[in-house]
Amino acid sequence: MAIPIKKPKEIEEIKKSAALVAKTLKFLRENTKPGITPIELDKMAEEFIRSHGGRPAFKGLYDFPNSVCISKNSVVIHGIPDNEPLKEGDVVGYDVGVEMNGWYGDAAITMIVGNVKSPYQKMIDVARDAIYYAVERIKPGMRYKQISKLLEDYITSHGYVPLHGYSGHGIGRRPHEEPQILNYVEGKPNQGEKVKNGHVFCLEPMLCQCDGFPILGDNGWDVYCGDKKVGVHYEHQIAVVGNKAIILTEEE
């Protein structure tokens, strides 16, 4: 299936959804503190999104029951918000999707709860910086598998491994479009679809400490690394405009 090319006016509409995603992640970051529960944060985020003219894109998507994927500690992605209060030092990830006027935005952050030094901060920084490393090097004509190689090289050079089986993706009129963008290379990097002006997609490194083989939780949503140790996730939405990649979901 061909990768949709968005017109400049369409990208301007996508930017609105992406901006609300960024604001929602900032809102969640600011309200994350010991004692608050993920289910409380989920409700707060839904109210925030709706009050700004958006719709939580994940609620009901593939039957997901909540508005935000909230993943704690050893859950890397797709965590279902629960009633267990957050504790200082917890590692918590927020994955937010928004739909506005038929266009979708999507991004994710991972953070440490409370004012503590954490051994996992470096891992979070690597996940975030892997995106910037790739974005600085993206240009029309390169292969999407070359982007996957950039992400994999950055992740592994810092001593971590990518979670297998899950990926970044195209986005626009649907929350998930072509292409699939793995955080590691399958096959040869110089094969497959090419990046073009007008492409909009999400890069989302998911990092494990030792074992990137995924384990699905009993609830059918929580995803763990194979080592069941703490994993982290970061995601930005990106558009290729004027022969360069720009991030649409940076927090102000």
Count of alpha carbons within 13 Å of 58, Cβ hemisphere only? 25
CA dist., res. 40 & res. 210, Å (int): 32
Please tell me the predicted confidence (pLDDT) of residue 47: 98
| Bridge partner residues of 91 (DSSP) | 112
CA dist., res. 227 & res. 88, Å (int): 23
pLDDT one digit per residue (tens) for the chain, 252 residues: 689 999 999 999 999 999 999 999 999 999 999 999 999 999 999 999 999 999 999 999 999 999 999 999 999 999 999 999 999 999 999 999 999 999 999 999 999 999 999 999 999 999 999 999 999 999 999 999 999 999 999 999 999 999 999 999 999 999 999 999 999 999 889 899 999 999 999 999 999 999 999 999 999 999 999 999 999 999 999 999 999 999 999 987
Please tell me the predicted confidence (pLDDT) of residue 187: 86
- Token representation of residue 67: 């508005």
Count of alpha carbons within 13 Å of 205, Cβ hemisphere only? 32
User: Does the pTM of the predicted model rise above 0.95?
Assistant: yes
Say how far residue 245 (Cα) sits from the centre of its chain. 17
CA dist., res. 42 & res. 40, Å (int): 5
Please tell me the predicted confidence (pLDDT) of residue 1: 61
Please tell me the predicted confidence (pLDDT) of residue 236: 98
User: Position 250: which residue type?
Assistant: E
Burial of 127 (0-12, 13-18, 19+ CB in 10 A): buried
Burial of 151 (0-12, 13-18, 19+ CB in 10 A): buried
Please tell me the predicted confidence (pLDDT) of residue 251: 84
Q: CATH assignment of 8-247, given 3.20.20.60, 3.90.78.10, 3.90.230.10, 3.30.950.10? A: 3.90.230.10
CA dist., res. 75 & res. 94, Å (int): 11
CA dist., res. 222 & res. 23, Å (int): 25
Span between the terminal Cα atoms of the chain, in Å: 35
Handedness of CA 33, 36, 39, 42 (dihedral sign): negative
Nearest of 138, 194, 202 to residue 169 by alpha carbon:
202
User: Position 35: which residue type?
Assistant: G
Find all residues with CB under 8 Å of 12, minimum gap 6, and list them. Answer: none
